[in-house]
Amino acid sequence: MAKADFQVPVLKQYPEIPEIEPGVMAHSSPFKSKPQFQAELGFPGELVDDWQTKAIDKMGDLLGRYRSLRVYLDSCVKCGSCTDKCHYYLGTHDPKNMPVARQDLMRKVYRRHFTLAGRLFPTLVGAEDLTEEVLGDWYSYFHQCSQCRRCSVFCPYGIDTAEISMAAREIMDHIGVGQKYCNEIIGKVYKIGNNLGLPGPALADTLEGLEEDVFDETGVEVKYPLDQEGAEILLVTPSADFFAEPHVDGLIGYGKVFHEAGVSWTLSSHASEAANFGMFIGSYENMRRVALRIREAAIKLKVKRIVFGECGHAWRVAYSFLNTLAGPWDFLDPRYPIPQHICEFTHGLIQEGKLNLDKSRNDDMVLTYHDSCNVARASRMGDRPGGQFDLPRAIIRATCNNFYDMDEETIRDRTFCCGGGGGLLTDDLMEIRVKGAQPRIEALNNVMQEKGVTHMAAICAICKSQFTKVLPYYGMDLDQIVSLHQLVSNALVLTGEETDDEDEAADEAA
């Protein structure tokens, strides 16, 4: 597979800061959203007549709403610290993919309309009007940002390019220039309940199949309940967990963990999606509408706890925004985190010694771990700083004998994005996805060479899908990426499980 009509970057032993190649990615631009997708989200169907005025008005509105946006646009001192930190710059060499240059695409328009110097002497302060050409640049380069926030870690002012790119997308949506991938998907959540458009009966059929599979494999009746009123826990997980590989192996793992914990749990067909693409397009209204479905499901199913499955940006929305978006959650059990990450849940059980884990069942793999950007830089797990780095690693160490981290510069809060986050996980952006994956895959390749790593675990549906698609471009196998709870699923010896040893013993006795 993996036929490329562009040059796939060469992996090196040490990261190299490339020389700039201006404009090499100017052609990269995702499919535009269609009028019917725009309408579902409350946006105009196509470019509105007085789009310049409307765009500036919207920018003014956002500047009023988010003080942070104004601070980010005002405070850059052009120190250059961010320039070599973006995976898209490192992979494409296009200087407009340097975070400062990406910010400047909006900053120059901001200066023109919202600063005195820019209004009076635009050329002196790098202020520009929002021309058709600038809008074209916006559409292209704000869709070459995965909103991973790596640059903000290195910025002495903490300027968050993700927030600027979200604002830019929100402004473009309001003048009728939306991105097909994100906006079509959000519409599906409203209509059907999840990104994939899996209706309830398909969901039920898929889950029934999983129950059969787990029973065939273990002899234990592990349930994957749907819409079960009165269950204690509502599991909200990305719909890719039902549909794709290796995601589904993670879902199988969550079910086994709940089974061993002896708690009742359920999925919801109404809130059958953890992902919230409203964040990617910077739309508070749409983010809220998507998040409210979780509240509605929790109330209807009368659950006491909410647990999120493996989805990076969903956990940012859940951990950082869920209370203001869809709270108050006073009807949930306050003794547990609201909401809770599946890693926190599993880690807690491991700490309590409640899971019987046989690490040797993962001995066919040597693992490394990919920190997903939204988990790493926009959330936390557990009750200590850095828990979002330590808990997943602790779970891997408890379930696998062989684990090695990648280079320190590329993990934890300095982790490199998979290259497909922030609404870029679409085939029409394959070139930027492959090139943007280079820094991460380079670090993976090095740990494969040096430590014999064979597989990389992740806790994000986007990361998993992205690696499945891009690894083959670099000559690697698509199944080298695994779900974290797939490792748990493999290692977990269920109570009453028929093991091979027992089978043999039974055979001998007979």
Partner 1 sequence: MPIEVNGKAFETDEEGYLANINEWEPGVAEVMSKEDDLELTDEHWDIINYLREYYEEYQIAPAVRVLTKAVGKKFGKDKGNSKYLYGLFPYGPAKQACRYAGLPKPTGCV
The residues that touch partner 1, with contacts defined as CB under 8 A, are 1, 31, 180-181, 184-185, 188, 194-199, 201-202, 205-206, 209-210, 213, 238-240, 242-245, 247-248, 275, 311, 425, 427-428, 461-462, 464-465
Residue 194 beta carbon to partner 1: minimum distance, rounded to whole angstroms: 7
Residue 35 beta carbon to partner 1: minimum distance, rounded to whole angstroms: 14
Residue 198 beta carbon to partner 1: minimum distance, rounded to whole angstroms: 5
Q: Of 393 and 455, which has the nearer Cβ to partner 1?
A: 455
Buried b (16+ CB within 10 A) or exposed e, 395-434: bbebbbebbebbbeebbbebbbbbbbbbbbbbebbbbbbb
- Euclidean distance between the first and final Cα of the chain, in Å? 49
Q: Of 35 and 328, which has the nearer Cβ to partner 1?
A: 35
Q: Of 332 and 481, which has the nearer Cβ to partner 1?
A: 481
Alpha-carbon distance of 188 to 196, in angstroms, equals: 7
**Secondary structure of 179-217 in HEC code, one letter for each residue:** EHHHHHHHHHHHHCCCCCCCCHHHHHHHHHHHHHHHHHH
Alpha-carbon distance of 506 to 500, in angstroms, equals: 10
Residue 464 beta carbon to partner 1: minimum distance, rounded to whole angstroms: 8
| DSSP code, position 7 | P
Alpha-carbon distance of 405 to 456, in angstroms, equals: 10
Alpha-carbon distance of 430 to 433, in angstroms, equals: 5
Spatial CA neighbour of 144 closest among 433, 442, 471: 433
Alpha-carbon distance of 115 to 128, in angstroms, equals: 12
Q: Of 118 and 250, which has the nearer Cβ to partner 1?
A: 250
Residue 279 beta carbon to partner 1: minimum distance, rounded to whole angstroms: 13
Tokens of 193: 């309940």
Alpha-carbon distance of 43 to 286, in angstroms, equals: 11
Q: Of 310 and 442, which has the nearer Cβ to partner 1?
A: 310
Peptide bond preceding 334: is omega within 30 degrees of 0, i.e. cis?
no
Q: Of 174 and 188, which has the nearer Cβ to partner 1?
A: 188
Spatial CA neighbour of 438 closest among 51, 93, 32: 93
Residue 357 beta carbon to partner 1: minimum distance, rounded to whole angstroms: 24
Residue 247 beta carbon to partner 1: minimum distance, rounded to whole angstroms: 8
| DSSP code, position 234 | E
Q: Of 266 and 468, which has the nearer Cβ to partner 1?
A: 468
Helices (H), 17-75: 35-40, 51-65, 67-75
Q: Of 161 and 276, which has the nearer Cβ to partner 1?
A: 276
Residue 185 beta carbon to partner 1: minimum distance, rounded to whole angstroms: 5
CB 474 within 8 A of CB 91: no
Alpha-carbon distance of 83 to 483, in angstroms, equals: 32
Tokens of 233: 């826990």
Tokens of 250: 């993670």
Tokens of 144: 């070459």
Q: Of 275 and 357, which has the nearer Cβ to partner 1?
A: 275
Residue 237 beta carbon to partner 1: minimum distance, rounded to whole angstroms: 11
Residue 239 beta carbon to partner 1: minimum distance, rounded to whole angstroms: 6
Q: Of 107 and 247, which has the nearer Cβ to partner 1?
A: 247
